[in-house]
Structure 1
Amino acid sequence: MRALVWLLVLVPVALAEEDCPVCATNQFAKCLPDDEGVCSCLLKLASNTSQKVNCSALTRKCWMMKNEMYRLKNNLGTRRKPTEHAMLDNDGIYDPDCESDGNFHPKQCNGTDTCWCVNTAGVRRTDKGDQDKKCPELVKTFWFQIQLRHKPIDKEMDEDKLKKAIQETLAAYQVDPGYIDKVEYLKEDRFILVDLIQNKTVQSETDLATAAYYLEKDVKGNTLFSNTYNRSIQDDGISFDGGKLSFEEAYVYYIDSKHPEFSMKRLTPGIIAVIVVVCLALIAGLVVLCLARRKAAKAHIYQKAEGRELDEIQKQQLTT
């Protein structure tokens, strides 16, 4: 009799859950009806904390990182959980403190006594310190450079078609065309370089850090979208010139409105926020950045590739 009662209680709930649509822009959000029968989608941030998300927009990067850490800690993801030391020192993967609007808190500590300051993309921009470390502001990341390396193709690359394909691809990540400053192709290295600049003339709710995060995850085969979302970068690449253009590497570079504050003497080989040399100059109050690809040189851009970093951690675990 008791089993029958439980069955009668559970069946209506299961049916009600099925009535709610899947969250297209976030496969990890769970959509349930409220007391009034209105569906809302919640993303788990911690064991006792969930965040309501808008499934017509990309979920803010800070919340997605926090959800990923929750899944890793509870063995809910497909990846192997890194060691405690790696979780502490790996800047690409940490449990962030998020503001109520989804922005990163300027000061991050990853639940430990070690703290540092981040930019609006959640990337560390200072040396690490203790709980007394001061982070008076959230420095804005205004320029993103996405570098995609495609797999070899057996025909000449049509650069005009390539630029159009990249613009269409970015549209799937809700990037307004006005944010696309430049698309370049480096034939010898098979690199596609896309500069996205957050400018005030474009009225868009899309956060470029979040868009770049979603795109990077797709390239690395760890999509955040559900199967109902028509994303551009599938496992076999993007549609291009009557075929498919697949990618084998993805990197995202972040350029802030202010210099990063690293002490060079404190950098160690194991640090994940890689400092690359470029040239930074101020002209008439405007920041002019000279980006000299792999061989040039003189100021500070730093790189973060989260999936790649975690893969390296896993490799180290397998060899120990």
Structure 2
Amino acid sequence: MTNRFAKCLSNDGVCTCALQLSDEFNRPVNCSTLTSKCWMMKNEMFRLKSGIGARRKPTEHAMLDNDGIYDPDCRDDGSFHSRQCNGTSTCWCVNTAGVRRTDKGDENIECPAHPVATFWFQIQLRHKPINEVDEVKLKKAIKDIFAAYQVDPGYIEKIEYLAEDRYITVDLKQNLTVQTPSDLATAAYYLEKDVKGNTLFSSTYNRSIQDDGVPFNGEKLSFEEAYVYYIDSKNPEFSMKRMTPGIIAVIVVVCLAIVAGLVVLFLTRRKAAKAHVYQKAEGRELDEIQKQQLTT
């Protein structure tokens, strides 16, 4: 199965799977394809609130700067509603990947009818040290890994490898000509969870990334870091409140420099204007002196 948290029941020889999203509601899912990111996030929040599973909440005063964990509001097809509130009166707008793209506001915040499309996913993977890396074979292995997450090769625009830092950057872009059972946001979500040791797959599913890595050039290729970056079809709408103090300081310095430049320019022009007036006055005085000399 592609979802270890779904429960499969057999009824008259027909196997059906369901994912629990609340105490009262189980969502039927297809365990032959990846379950949508929205439903998986909602199930994770249900398990956290209910204390189900081995994962536990951190210590009371522990802090984690992670804006991605919340209880989402999902559509019937498993996609995200454009406005999310996490069960509170604080709301914000998200993209199609469920990532916040605006400042947080109240329940009156205006979001588009449909979420802004995330068309580009840039995934950075850092593999653990291995003896020797054949870049051609490495890129082939990466394509095979993404195939395990049901990512069609047509979505893979580019794979870059930085040997010095052991970083692999994979650009995934939406392609209208490609048909796939799973969307890129869900595939990236599964991959990130898997690399961080919290796989969503069941133990019976034959996937590429295992806890001890994947076979590669006679060795095991495994990863120690995974970062997913989202690029939307429209720029995010964050205000100055979201900017870090460092960025704000740079903006203030630039503004002060501009103001200082304008002041210098004003004083320079004012000085030049005074000099010009003085030159004119001096010229008129000379003219008067010359006239008096001629008359005498």
TM (normalized to structure 2)?
A: 0.78
Of residues 55-64 and 38-47 in structure 1, the stretch that sits farther from structure 2 once superposed is: 38-47
1:224 pairs with one of 189, 196, 200 = 200
- 1:92 positional shift: 1.4
Q: Deviations over 1:212-249 (max 9, x none)?
A: 11111111111111111011110111211111111110
| Cα root mean square deviation, aligned | 2.0
Matches within 5 A, 1:39-50: 39-50=15-26
Structure 1 residue identity aligned to 2:195: V
CA distance change for structure 1 residues 85 and 101 in 2, over 3 Å: closer, same or farther? Answer: farther
* Pairing 1:148-297 to 2, within 5 Å after superposition: 148-155=125-132, 157-267=133-243
**1:88 touches 1:94 (CA, 8 Å); kept in 2?**
no
Name the count of aligned residue pairs: 244
Q: CA deviation at 1:81?
A: 1.8
Structure 2 CA distance for aligned equivalents of residues 195 and 45 of structure 1:
32
| 1:135 aligned onto 2:111 | yes
Whole-Å separation in 2 of the counterparts to 1:165 and 1:92? 29
The structure whose residues are more often strand, as a share, is 1
Q: Output the TM-score relative to the length of structure 1.
A: 0.73
Deviation beyond 4 Å, 4+ runs, structure 1: 82-90
| 1:177 counterpart letter in structure 2 | P
Shift in Å, 1:127: 0.3
Q: How far, CA to CA, are the matches of 1:89 and 1:114 in structure 2?
A: 17
Structure 1 unaligned residues grouped into runs of 5+: 1-23, 270-320
Bigger helix share: 2
- Helix, strand or coil: the match of 1:160? helix
Counterpart selection for 1:79 from 41, 45, 55: 55
Structure 2 portions without partners, runs of 5+: 246-296
Please state whether the residue corresponding to 1:46 is helix, strand or coil.
coil
Distance 1:85 1:120, change over 3 A: farther
Letter in 2 for 1:223: T
Cα separation, partners in 2 of 1:263 and 1:177, compared to 1, 3 Å: same
**Residue 92 of structure 1, aligned match among 68, 87, 104:** 68
Does the Cα contact within 8 Å between 1:73 and 1:81 map onto a contact in 2? no
Summarize the Cα distance change of 1:214–1:187 in structure 2 as closer, same or farther, 3 Å threshold: same
Larger radius of gyration: 2
* Amino acid paired to 2:9: L
Partner of 1:302: none
Write the distance in 2 (CA, Å) between the matches of 1:204 and 1:261.
30
What letter corresponds to residue 142 of structure 2 in structure 1? I
Deviations, residues 168-218 of structure 1 (Å, cap 9, x unaligned): 111111000100101110112110000111111112232000001111111
Asked whether the 8 Å contact 2:85–2:92 carries over to 1, the reply is yes
